[in-house]
Structures are given as C-alpha cells and as structure tokens.
Chains A and B, each alone.
Chain A
Amino acid sequence: MSDFSIHALLREIPYFAHVGETVLAALSQQAVRRTFTAHEILFLEGESSAGLWILEHGRVKAYKLSPDGQEYILRFFGPGDTFNDLAALDGAPNPISTMAVTEVSAWVIQTAVFAQALQTDHELTLAVLKGLVGRVRFVVGRLEDLALRPVTARLARFLLEQVENPALAHPAITRALVANHLATTPESVSRSLRVLEESGAIRFDRHRIIITNPDVLRQQAQL
C-alpha cells in the first residue's frame, strides 16, 4: 500500500481526523505495515510495545490469559480501530495480547514517532485524550457487567453489540468464544441462549442466531 493510502486511512480515524497535514504526512511516511494470517499472534502481553496499532483490514481479538491459561477476551477490533494505545503512550510493556481472527493487515506507528506527533499537534493530543476517555468508559462498563449483571444479561448485551456495531462483529461466533468473552462457561452460554429464545428476543435458524425483538433483548440486557 502506498503512503497515499495510509494517509487516507489515518484521516478516517478519529485520532487523526483533524491533525495538521505536515504531522499526518510524517506519520504516514513512518508507519510500518504488518500482515498476519488467521490465528497468528500480533503481540503478547508483557512484551515491549511496538507502538500504536491501526487495523486496516480484518479482525483482531484482544485478550488476557489467567495463570491457569484460561483466555478472557476483552474485545474485538475491526477496520479503522486503533489499539495498544496505552503502551504507545507510556512506553510500558503491552497490557494485553492480540491475535488475528481473520487475515489481518495493520499499521504500526512507533511510540517515539507518536510521542513526537503528540508534542507537535494540539488537535491530536485532544483527540487521543477523548479516545482514552472512551476506553475508560468501556472498561468501567465491562466491570459493571462482570460485577453486577448475570450471564443472561451479559449475553444479551453482547448480542446487541454485535448487531449495533457490525465492524466489530465476529464473523463466526462459537459458544466457547462467547463464554471466554463473558468470563463464563459454554454450558452457561447455552442455558442463557435458551432463556433468551424463550423470552422471544432471539430465535435459532440453523447456524443463525436471529435477533427478532431488540426491545426484549435490551430488557434482558438490563439496559
């Protein structure tokens, strides 16, 4: 991909939407493109950070592993998403691990390059602050989910997120994957799916889980 197309990609991302042309051109020239096959690791928790990641194509899952190896999926990223923002800002090791769910192409802006741009461009600094606030709100929401909502409510919320933000939707959901995402077991996911089906919020059509009544699903999600 040429500098021009990474330039256009950056311009579409909220962080860089209002960045000055000179800074954007410098970032475009220094960004490094990386490609991955499905199931390939992008980076691991605890490793030195490569910088800020920008997903051009494909889907990536961010996850953490418990001491006994249990995977907990934090979220999925889709085209145009940035990730590993925290490590790109403070230069500390990666706080999460990421794996390609599909074939992936992504760009990396090294921490030093990103820091230089932040010092130069006031609009970029404001946009990054706003983005970080969004991430904090997301984490608070997940904490609230885990601490206060039962599995059925968390599952209902997960299903709503999948259809309300198609860019983040997983192409093929399995019970095990949802269980990891919700920090529960596949059996609990199966039970909760039955509860949602009996409530009239969803129905099964072979491999499709069809949301037939979003209002009922929102009630089940306690939203």
Chain B
Amino acid sequence: MMVEETWLPQISLELCTGCGDCVVVCPVDALEVIQGTAVVTNPLACDYCAACETICPTEAIVLPYQIVLDING
C-alpha cells in the first residue's frame, strides 16, 4: 500500500526546530528527528490523528485535508 505524499503531515524545514515533541506524542511512531528535523519515517503507520500538528510549538507541522461530499458516507 502506498500513502500519497500530499496526504501526510507536512513539515516545514524552516519552522521545525527538531525539538522532538511530535516524536514523543505520535501514538504510532511514524516520526523521527533526523539531522535536527522531524521526518515522517513510517508513513504507512500514520493515521492522521493530528497529535503532531497540535503539539508542535512552532506550527511547523500541518495536516492537509480533502473535503468531499458523500451522503452515503
């Protein structure tokens, strides 16, 4: 299974300080800090809980969403 890159947490290299809060809070160990920057190293595990986005103190992580209409959904 592939996870389209668009639909993974987007991490700003400029804003990320590498503090590691997101790594600690991620319930599925999808993130690591590599060379001072948070990286999604296990994209298949990411279930989009938004814990990383919420905890990030510099607003470096954002989760993009797609809005769709599905009345049978």
Q: Do A and B bind each other?
A: yes
Contact call B62/A174, Cβ cutoff below 8 A: yes
Picked from A175, A205, A209, the residue with its CB within 8 Å of the CB of B62 is: A175
Beta-carbon contacts under 8 Å, A191-223 to B: 203-214
Quick check: which of B16-24, B28-36, B63-71 contacts chain A, the rest being far away?
Answer: B63-71
- Interface contact tally, CB-CB below 8 A: 64
Beta-carbon nearest neighbor of A169 in chain B: B67
Judge whether A62 is part of the interface by a CB distance below 8 angstroms. Answer: no
CB of A49, distance to nearest CB on chain B (Å):
31
B66 to A, closest residue via Cβ: A208
Q: Is A172 in the interface zone, CB < 8 Å from B? A: yes
Total B residues in contact with A, Cβ cutoff 8 Å: 20
Number of A positions contacting B (CB below 8 A):
24
B70 A210 Cβ-Cβ under 8 A: yes
Cβ 8 A contact of B69, one of A176, A190, A214: A214
Residue in contact with A207 in the complex, picked from B54, B63, B69, CB distance below 8 Å? B63
- Assess whether B64 is in contact with A207, with CB atoms less than 8 Å apart: yes
Q: Give the Cβ gap from A223 to chain B, nearest Cβ, in Å.
A: 16
By the criterion CB–CB under 8 Å, are A205 and B73 in contact? yes
Report yes or no: B66 in contact with A207, Cβ–Cβ below 8 A.
yes
Contact, CB under 8 Å: B66 / A212: no
B73 touches A203 (CB 8 A): yes
Min C-beta distance of A215 to chain B, whole Å = 9
Cβ distance A200 to chain B, nearest Cβ, rounded Å: 11
A206 to B63, CA, bound (A): 10
Of the candidates B6, B10, B50, B67, the one whose C-beta lies within 8 Å of that of A211 is B67
**Hey, what's the 0/1 contact readout for B53-65 against A, CB within 8 Å counting as 1?**
1100001001111
Q: Enumerate chain A residues within 8 angstroms of B71, measured Cβ to Cβ.
A: 211-214
CB distance from B55 to the nearest CB of A (A): 12
Closest chain A residue to B7, Cβ basis: A207
B64 x A163 contact (CB < 8 A): no
Q: Judge if A188 is at the interface, Cβ distance under 8 Å.
A: no
A151 within 8 A of B: no
Q: Which A residues are in CB contact (< 8 Å) with B70? A: 210-212
Q: Chain B contacts of A172 at CB under 8 A?
A: 6, 64-66
Most A Cβ at <10 Å: residue of B6, B69, B71, B73: B69
Contacts from A to B (Cβ < 8 Å): 159, 162-163, 169, 171-176, 186, 190, 203-214
Known A208-B65, A211-B68; further 20 A-B contacts with Cβ < 8 A: A163-B67, A163-B68, A171-B66, A172-B64, A173-B65, A173-B67, A175-B53, A176-B59, A186-B59, A190-B54, A204-B48, A206-B47, A207-B7, A207-B48, A207-B63, A210-B68, A210-B69, A211-B71, A212-B71, A214-B71
